[in-house]
Homo-oligomer: A and B are copies of this chain.
Amino acid sequence: MARNKHPEETVNLILDVAFQLFMEKGYEHTSIQDIINHLGGLSKGAIYHHFKSKEDIIAAVIDRMTEESNQMLAKVRDRDDLTGKEKLKAIFKESILRPVQEDIFTVAPNFSNSPRLLFCIFRETMDEAAPDYILPIIRQGISDGSIQTDYPEELTELVMLAANIWMNPMIFDDTVEESYRKFMVFRQMMEGFGLDIVDEELLDRLQELAFIYQKNR
């Protein structure tokens, strides 16, 4: 195999293949050899030239998955024309309206048989997304009076756990009705915290998304 003048293409190819296989068979049941076989001529040395371990590959895969989501979160977080509560509402709306999610749905049946992948999403959500993006917004909400709580860190965690993990149809293999019901319960929970951030448009879009997901499984 000839050497590639643009190594980033090779890296992306490896990540594409790895992502696909991790989703289909799970991280632990995907061997390096599996990845090689789907690489079209590239060898084991190529992989270990670009990545220092199998672990390193999954880290990169997760990074690529969450990158644009995090960019959106940062953009909303850094706006200065919204209150904390309005930012929360904007984020929930964006994350549901974002068309990219459809691509992921079509490729990813579910995370159910991939403990490692679920674990990484879990960590990324709780250790990165929550404190870096949502917490500052909730703190701002406390300052500007749009959010009331004595425990911003914990409220952030619980909300992220519900929204990013529990309501993630890739993790929980939900049907249309289940997704809808979760959203209703989520809404009630948020209202219990004084946060009415769910409107009818969001509910409609959710049902639409769940339907798309339903078709491709």
Residues of chain B within 8 A (CB-CB) of A182 are: 151, 154, 157-158
Query: A119 CA to B114 CA in the complex, in Å?
Result: 9
For residues 158 through 180 of chain A, which have their beta carbon under 8 Å from a beta carbon of chain B? 158, 161-162, 165-166, 172, 178
For residues 27 through 43 of chain A, which have their beta carbon under 8 Å from a beta carbon of chain B? 28
* From B28, B172, B192, contact of A189 by CB (8 A): B192
Task: List the B residue with the shortest CB-CB distance to A165.
Answer: B161
Report whether B192 and A154 are in contact in the complex, using a CB–CB cutoff of 8 Å.
no
Q: A2 at interface (Cβ–Cβ under 8 A)?
A: no
Q: A116 at interface (Cβ–Cβ under 8 A)?
A: yes
Known: A28-B28, A193-B192. A185 touches B166 (CB 8 A): no
Residues of chain B within 8 A (CB-CB) of A161 are: 161-162, 165-166
Q: Secondary structure of the A side of the interface? A: helix
Interface size bucket, A side?
20 to 34
Known: A115-B116, A192-B189. A181 touches B166 (CB 8 A): no
Q: A199 at interface (Cβ–Cβ under 8 A)?
A: no
For residues 114 through 173 of chain A, which have their beta carbon under 8 Å from a beta carbon of chain B? 115-116, 118-120, 122, 126, 149-151, 153-155, 157-158, 161-162, 165-166, 172
Q: A13 at interface (Cβ–Cβ under 8 A)?
A: no
Residues of chain B within 8 A (CB-CB) of A191 are: 192
Q: A188 at interface (Cβ–Cβ under 8 A)?
A: yes
Known: A115-B115, A115-B119, A189-B192. A184 touches B154 (CB 8 A): yes
Which A residues have a C-beta under 8 Å from some C-beta of B? 28, 115-116, 118-120, 122, 126, 149-151, 153-155, 157-158, 161-162, 165-166, 172, 178, 181-182, 184-186, 188-189, 191-193
Q: Which 6 A-B pairs have the closest CB atoms?
A: A192-B192, A115-B119, A154-B185, A151-B181, A154-B181, A115-B115
A–B pairs, 19, beta carbons within 8 Å = A115-B115, A118-B122, A126-B172, A151-B181, A151-B182, A153-B181, A154-B178, A154-B182, A154-B184, A154-B185, A157-B166, A158-B162, A158-B166, A158-B185, A158-B186, A158-B189, A161-B165, A188-B193, A189-B192
